[in-house]
Amino acid sequence: MNDTLDLWIQRVTLAAMVALAATLLAVGVVLYASDSEAQEPAAAATQGVP
C-alpha cells in the first residue's frame, strides 16, 4: 500500500473514533440528565407523606 492511502485510513479512523467518543459522551449526559429529572418529582412527592 502506498503512504498516502495509509495516512488517509489513519485520519478517517481517528475521526471515526473521536465521533464515537463524542456520541457516547452525549448519550451519557442525556441519560444522566433524564435520570436526575425523573428522581426529582418522586422525592418531592414523598416529602409530604407522613
The predicted structure's pLDDT at residue 2: 85
Q: Residue type at 41?
A: P
Asked if pLDDT for residue 33 goes beyond 80, the answer is yes
Please tell me whether the overall predicted TM-score, pTM, comes out greater than 0.85 for this model.
no
Local confidence band at 43 (pLDDT 50, 70, 90 cut-offs): low
CA dist., res. 5 & res. 35, Å (int): 45
Phi and psi, residue 48, nearest 5°: -85, -5
CA dist., res. 5 & res. 41, Å (int): 55
Cell of 18: 473521536
pLDDT digit string (tens) for 9-23? Answer: 999 999 999 999 999
Local confidence band at 34 (pLDDT 50, 70, 90 cut-offs): confident
Phi and psi, residue 2, nearest 5°: -90, 165
How much of the chain, in percent, has pLDDT values that exceed 70?
Answer: 70
